[in-house]
A and B are shown apart, each in its own frame.
Chain A
Amino acid sequence: MRARRGFTFTEVLVALLVFLIGIVGVWAVFPAALKSVRESSAKGRAILLAQQKVEEMRRDANLANSLINEISALPAPSTALPMPTDDSLTYSFSGESLQFPVPDASEPASTPGVPRVIVRYAPDFRDTEPVLYELRFLGP
């Protein structure tokens, strides 16, 4: 007769709790996957934005390359400006890398004195990703 007894109320609650923990564990994977897709999309937009700014610089540069030389000499990123059609992204110009702040001969992207467009998330959108995309460029 003992073998046929039902579950106690406590046993059911414990079983539900264990099941719930399992479900939450599986569910926790979804946001990470979504975040990955969103970041990939944001990076795509950042690349286009950086390319756009570089093309404008190349087009507008004078023969002395004043504009580009001035950017090369910037020791820190200029004021971040919002992307006109996407206020989740900002761009700025700099002669120094934010991704690789310490110059390293084995890392060309860290070379100082090279003009760059730096695309970041807008601070009120997300401030945990300092640099989304950094594009170095030369004169026209």
Chain B
Amino acid sequence: MRNTLRTSRAVTLTELLVAMVISVIFVGSVVMVFTLTLDASDETRRSSDAHNRARAAAEAITQDLKFLQVDPLLGITADTLVLVDQPLAYGDLVDNDRDGFLDEETVDGADDEPTTDWVDQHQVVNFRTERSAYVGFPDLGDLGVDDDTVFSRDQVAFLRTLGPSAIPGVPIRERVAYRIDTFDGEDNVLVREVTTFDPSVSPDVTVLEPVVFDVVSLDILAWNSNTDGFVPVQPYWLTAWDSSAFPFGTRPLNAPLGVPPFAYPTSFFVRVVVSAEKVPLAEIGPWFLQNRPLKTETAQTVVNVESVLGSAEYAVYVRDP
């Protein structure tokens, strides 16, 4: 009887309190770890998703730019290639180049880093150096010198020939444009606008398609292999381009007067910055006034224009002058 009573006794208050404390600590720890894990998972997923979107956008643009080719029947027109530079007055509020200043750089070639590491990224092969003569000129050299983020909303548009139309001698052409715009009432969308000029179809058809949503910045630079008065004569990055408006006397580097200039840049630098924030960019509002960094993901690349790179003029006047 005594044994039975002992085994069925209730827990004491002390035991109950100890068990409760242990339970609270245990459950609290599990909940905390679980919450942290979910947050980290969510953050990683958003970051990865933003990077994939940025990369998809950069690849879409580069695929179009890589195969630019002047239509010999049409020649150079006002629509051949127009790159419009539209830098914004603010950046991501992050000191990306770690020089102690936020978003202080502009794409002007000025080297205001405290260090003197102007060495070109090709230093490894010993004979390529930063174009120091270009400091102060609109040249980015190795792109590593002036690289703190300042957002841009550049626009690029170009004309291309698709193929023969129903009317002999007049091919189907299309004008392609990339810009950050509004799509279906949503702001900050990188759109691709295609206007098709088919002589057998009237009127011309324009299609606006979204490439990526929640885009912060589109930055495009053009590597100019024409001479236009800079000394010494070397290629350099331009922030704008208009194939139909070369300055007088411009020609391929080292080419004699009278040789027509390259209508296209040799390369494009394309940088797409996409928001990795939890809420859409439009709902955040002017983040640069809220004094906090914007979570972003960046995809950047360089693409060569094959029609320029493979031309005889490029080999003669630029590769081996």
Q: Is B a genuine binding partner of A?
A: yes
Binding site for B on A (CB under 8 A): 1-2, 4-6, 9, 12-13, 16, 20, 23, 27, 30, 33-34, 37-38, 40-41, 44-45, 48, 51-53, 55-56, 58-64, 66-67, 70-71, 78-79, 81, 84-86, 92-93, 140
Whether B267 contacts A59 by the Cβ 8 Å rule is yes
Q: How far is the CA of A140 from the CA of B314 in the complex (A)?
A: 11
Q: How far is the CA of A2 from the CA of B5 in the complex (A)?
A: 9
The residue that A55 contacts in the complex, of B304, B319, B320, with Cβ under 8 A, is B304
Whether A62 contacts B320 by the Cβ 8 Å rule is yes
Whether B125 contacts A78 by the Cβ 8 Å rule is yes
> Across the interface, which residues of A come within 8 angstroms of B60, CB to CB?
none
Q: How far is the CA of A34 from the CA of B37 in the complex (A)?
A: 9
Of all A-B residue pairs in the complex, the 4 with the closest CB atoms, nearest first, are: A78-B124, A84-B144, A63-B320, A5-B7
User: Is B299 part of the contact surface with A, judged by Cβ < 8 Å?
Assistant: yes
> Across the interface, which residues of A come within 8 angstroms of B127, CB to CB?
66
Question: Given A30-B41, A93-B125: A37 and B58 within 8 A (CB)?
Answer: no
A-B contact pairs, 9 of them (CB 8 A): A1-B8, A2-B8, A13-B22, A41-B47, A45-B299, A52-B300, A62-B319, A62-B320, A84-B144
Binding site for A on B (CB under 8 A): 4, 7-8, 10-11, 15, 18-19, 22-23, 26, 30, 33-34, 37, 40-41, 44-45, 47-48, 51-52, 55, 58, 96, 121-128, 142-144, 147, 149, 223, 266-267, 298-304, 309, 315, 319-320
> Across the interface, which residues of B come within 8 angstroms of A92, CB to CB?
124
Whether B124 contacts A34 by the Cβ 8 Å rule is no
Whether A38 contacts B44 by the Cβ 8 Å rule is yes
Whether A63 contacts B8 by the Cβ 8 Å rule is no
Q: Which residue of chain B has the shortest Cβ distance to A35 in the bound complex?
A: B44
Shortest Cβ gap from A20 to chain B (Å): 7
Shortest Cβ gap from B162 to chain A (Å): 26
> Across the interface, which residues of A come within 8 angstroms of B8, CB to CB?
1-2, 4-6
> Across the interface, which residues of B come within 8 angstroms of A53, CB to CB?
121
Whether A23 contacts B302 by the Cβ 8 Å rule is no
Shortest Cβ gap from B292 to chain A (Å): 20
Q: Which residue of chain B has the shortest Cβ distance to A33 in the bound complex?
A: B41
Q: Which residue of chain A has the shortest Cβ distance to B23 in the bound complex?
A: A16
Whether A1 contacts B122 by the Cβ 8 Å rule is no
Whether B319 contacts A58 by the Cβ 8 Å rule is no
Whether A9 contacts B19 by the Cβ 8 Å rule is yes
B10, B15, B125: residue with the most chain A Cβ atoms closer than 10 Å: B125
Shortest Cβ gap from B186 to chain A (Å): 25
> Across the interface, which residues of B come within 8 angstroms of A33, CB to CB?
41
Shortest Cβ gap from B244 to chain A (Å): 24
A-B contact count (CB 8 A): 115
Q: For the complex, would chain A's binding face be called helix, strand, loop or mixed by DSSP majority?
A: helix
Whether B144 contacts A37 by the Cβ 8 Å rule is no
Question: Given A1-B7, A27-B37, A93-B125: A55 and B48 within 8 A (CB)?
Answer: no
Q: How far is the CA of A140 from the CA of B305 in the complex (A)?
A: 12
Q: How far is the CA of A5 from the CA of B34 in the complex (A)?
A: 34
> Across the interface, which residues of A come within 8 angstroms of B48, CB to CB?
37-38, 40-41
Q: Which residue of chain A has the shortest Cβ distance to B43 in the bound complex?
A: A34
Q: Which residue of chain B has the shortest Cβ distance to A140 in the bound complex?
A: B309
Q: How far is the CA of A4 from the CA of B193 in the complex (A)?
A: 77
Q: How far is the CA of A51 from the CA of B269 in the complex (A)?
A: 12
Q: How far is the CA of A62 from the CA of B4 in the complex (A)?
A: 97
Q: Which residue of chain A has the shortest Cβ distance to B144 in the bound complex?
A: A84
Q: How far is the CA of A113 from the CA of B156 in the complex (A)?
A: 39
Whether A27 contacts B33 by the Cβ 8 Å rule is yes
> Across the interface, which residues of B come within 8 angstroms of A140, CB to CB?
309, 319
Given contacts A6-B11, A66-B127, 4 further A-B contacts (CB under 8 A): A5-B8, A12-B19, A33-B41, A63-B315
The residue that A81 contacts in the complex, of B23, B44, B124, B147, with Cβ under 8 A, is B124
Whether B30 contacts A23 by the Cβ 8 Å rule is yes
Question: Given A1-B7, A1-B8, A5-B7: A37 and B44 within 8 A (CB)?
Answer: yes
Whether B22 contacts A16 by the Cβ 8 Å rule is yes
